[in-house]
Amino acid sequence: MQLPYFFEEELPLSEEFTLSESTSRHMVQVLRMKEGELIQLTNGNGYLLTAKIIFSHKKETRVHVTQRENIPREEPGITIAVSFIKNAGRFEWFLEKATEIGISHIIPLICKRTEKSHLKEDRMKTIMVSAMLQSRQVWLPSLSSPVPIAQLVNTHQADQKFIAHCMEEKKQELQKAIDQKARSKIILIGPEGDFTPVEIEIAIENNFIPVSIGYTRLRTETAAMVAAVLLKY
């Protein structure tokens, strides 16, 4: 049986420490956990602890560490740079699913046709942490501040760089363009009105490969999810 799994942003190096009030409350009031029971903790940065509860309290539960692990992030490192979309719930759905499959980095893009550019960072992080715990991972994807596409294509470094767009131009199929030996990959996914011709041209000038991810026109969050799966698996 798997142990109850919790997120603690700060995990001290000491053998005994007190958990945050939010974790303590969930353990004691919701799960009814008591002294002597085992739990697992991660900080979302590859660190996994197994610990025993030595003092059970809804505000300050104390634990004793029984095992520590540092788990390296899987390669390749995959970045999905995706435009904001008007429907916040659909963007949140993408964040949840991208976290579950183990995407490394998520960059909200601001494009000419982007209709919304506000990010509720606390809510986004809560969604991602929940998805990380549900899928029992130890790495939380990094979620950057929103970045204008022109800035991103001029500065981002990766072994392979792609841009998915809907214009009738020469494009490769993404699944055929992927180099399995590449250690880092990024793909750009545009807004609901697609990238502008100028944005596509700037990306190609900066060595982004134009690709197709299917034969149907997909919603932004669906396109981002399909691209994430293809790049990951």
Range of the domain at 57: 5-70
Q: How many domains does the chain have?
A: 2
Residue pLDDT, tens place only, 7-36? 999 999 999 999 999 999 999 999 999 999
Mean pLDDT of 62-73: 96
pLDDT per position as a tens digit, 168-187? 888 999 999 999 899 999 99
Same-domain check for residues 193 and 126:
yes
Answer with the one of 48, 70, 92 that is the final residue of a domain.
Answer: 70
CB distance 81 to 186 below 8 Å: yes
Banded model confidence at residue 1, pLDDT cuts 50, 70, 90: confident
Of the candidates 95, 71, 75, 107, the residue with the CA atom closest to the CA atom of residue 184:
75
State the DSSP code for 122.
H
Domain final residue, candidates 22, 42, 70:
70
Pick from 81, 10, 92: which is nearest to 231 by CA?
81
Nearest alpha carbon to residue 76 among 188, 189, 161, 164: 161
Average pLDDT over residues 124-133: 96
Claim to verify: residue 35 and residue 114 sit in the same structural domain: no
Residues 209 and 226 in one domain: yes
Same domain, 201 and 221: yes
Reported confidence tier of residue 166, pLDDT bands at 50, 70, 90: confident
Question: pLDDT of 143-153, one tens digit each?
Answer: 999 999 999 99
- Are residues 139 and 210 both part of a single domain? yes
Q: Are residues 176 and 110 in the same domain?
A: yes
The enclosing H or E element of 210 equals strand 209-212
Q: How far is 233 from 230, CA to CA, in rounded Å?
A: 6
Q: In this structure, what token pair is assigned to residue 28?
A: 């004691």
Give the whole-number percent of the chain exceeding pLDDT 70: 100
Name, in order, each residue with C-beta under 8 angstroms of 6's C-beta and a sequence gap of 6 or more: 19, 23, 26, 27, 39, 40, 41, 42, 133
Are residues 88 and 184 both part of a single domain? yes
Say yes or no: 59 and 108 in one domain: no
**CATH number for the domain that contains residue 204:** 3.40.1280.10
